[in-house]
Amino acid sequence: MRCFLALIAFLSCLSAPAHAQSADGCSKSQRQMAAHAVGDANQMTIMAAVSIADHELFAKWFGSYSTPNAETVRATLKSAVTAMRSGRVSVQCVPAQGDGCQDGTIAWVSRPQAFVLNLCPGFFDLPMLDTATPDGGPRGDSTQEGTVLHEMTHFQQVGRTEDYCYTRRVCAEMATARPGNAIRNADSYQYFAEDIIYLSRQSQPPGKTAKSGP
Ligand SMILES: [Zn+2]
């Protein structure tokens, strides 16, 4: 019963939208895109957190299922939602070749600096989740919402995750070989959450839309 009540309390977070509180150095369109990405990342992460179970996607990104590992993943995702909903997420748009944006970096955070997301120009070239596909587009295998979650998991108060691997191919291999690292790896959270959304799309008949009236 306690778990059920906790889930209800957690899902009640759905009623108010998350958004970035401030966006330093960003153009108007960058500010809008960042706000959209943070809001949708919050929804994506809620879905991912309530979808944790002993199923294929968990094994794909976090290795074989165990209760302690599932608890770690759930706690990290719930902490990310709490952070995104705290009103304390802020965005800084870093210019090309600016601080930390060299070598193809698309976003970065400083772990104790809650919750400042530094977004490089490449971030804004990533697809949004609603147009992306799991096999990746021209920008590879990442989305703006997934990147926001990736960065959020790094913070001290969220998951203190590392970057043990990047890319879907390498991180899927790591889940099998080293699940202990996978549950502490930022990209693994990103791909799990993105895939939960892709999977939920597949289970909807094409063309079906939400019912909006009686
Ligand atoms: Zn990272």
pLDDT tens for each residue of 25-57: 999 999 999 999 999 999 999 999 999 999 999
Distance 5 CA to ligand 1 centre (A): 33
Cβ–Cβ < 8 Å for 79, 157:
yes
Distance 12 CA to ligand 1 centre (A): 29
Kindly state the tokens that stand for 174.
Answer: 């790591």
pLDDT tens for each residue of 150-187: 999 999 999 999 999 999 999 999 999 999 999 999 99
Domain holding 138, by residue range, is 24-201
Q: Specify if 208 maps to a domain.
A: no
Q: Specify if 107 maps to a domain.
A: yes
Mean pLDDT along residues 10-39: 78
pLDDT at 8 (0 to 100): 42
Where residue 114 sits, what CATH number does that domain have?
A: 3.40.390.10
Distance 195 CA to ligand 1 centre (A): 18
pTM to 2 decimal places: 0.86
Cβ atoms within 10 Å of 156's Cβ, excluding its own: 11
Distance 169 CA to ligand 1 centre (A): 16
User: Total structural domains in the chain?
Assistant: 1
Distance 72 CA to ligand 1 centre (A): 18
